[in-house]
Amino acid sequence: MVVVAADVAEADVVEGEINMDKLLIHLMQSFILTLFIWSATLQAESIIHWENEREYRVTVSDNNKPLLSIAVEYLGKTPNNNKIIKHNWKAVDTDFYRETIKNLSESDIHIKEIKYSLDRGQLYTPRIKGGNKIKATYGTHVIKANESLSRDNAWVWSKRDNTLHRIFKFTWNDKTMDVDIPFVYQK
């Protein structure tokens, strides 16, 4: 199981003060532990490059063959190109991201579901997104061989600094893999 997160997340959290350094350490420890567990079960390997506390790139391999490249880019506190979204970002402090998932393999990769959770606090939106909702969000649930799926203005908000985890369940060639693609929210 790999953990790498993003999307429409109307997260309302009740929590205390959070030390950002501790949050980042916790996020990286969780990420590394999950990669270790996933690597042990699927003989997978991941190369993670953190550009800063919000942005990163991950390359996921299956049996030493590149499978996915995932890039998360922070866009700021307003939607890219002032795109209209179903969230009142002018009234609620919000972080916006661009996520790009590239299929590096010769096989189609399917997104079967996305599970949502927060590091701290309660998530008040649906915890699982299935096929129809994935298709509505991304336009498809299949990433064709050697093609990319990109989405601007994925967003997250919370009452305090937090991390939204989106665990994508990918399938390909009768294999399944979970990848957590986290978004960090900072006031």
pTM to 2 decimal places: 0.74
Q: Do the domain assignments include residue 167?
A: yes
Q: Do the domain assignments include residue 9?
A: no
The Cα–Cα gap between 115 and 105 comes to 24
Q: Kindly report, residue by residue over 23-70, the tens digit of the pLDDT.
A: 666 666 566 555 544 443 454 577 888 899 899 998 988 888 889 999
Asked whether the predicted pLDDT for residue 101 surpasses 70, the reply is: yes
Q: What percent of the chain has pLDDT over 70?
A: 75
State the alpha helices, DSSP H only, in 109-166. Answer: 131-138
Q: Do the domain assignments include residue 34?
A: yes
Q: Do the domain assignments include residue 11?
A: no
Residue 154's domain spans which residues? Answer: 20-185
Query: Band of the pLDDT at 142, cuts 50, 70, 90?
Result: very high
pLDDT average, residue stretch 83-104? 88
Total domains, the chain: 1
> What pLDDT, on a 0 to 100 scale, did the predictor assign at position 11?
38
- Determine the 3-state secondary structure of 166 from DSSP: strand
Q: Do the domain assignments include residue 12?
A: no
Query: Band of the pLDDT at 123, cuts 50, 70, 90?
Result: confident
Q: Kindly report, residue by residue over 145-156, the tens digit of the pLDDT.
A: 999 999 888 888
Q: Do the domain assignments include residue 43?
A: yes
Q: Do the domain assignments include residue 61?
A: yes
- CATH value at residue 57: 2.60.40
Q: Do the domain assignments include residue 143?
A: yes
Tell me if 161 sits within 8 A of 28, measured CB to CB: no
More confident: 86 or 76: 76
pLDDT average, residue stretch 99-126? 90
Cβ-count burial 101-118 (b if 16+ within 10 Å, e if not): bbbbbeeebbbebbbbbb
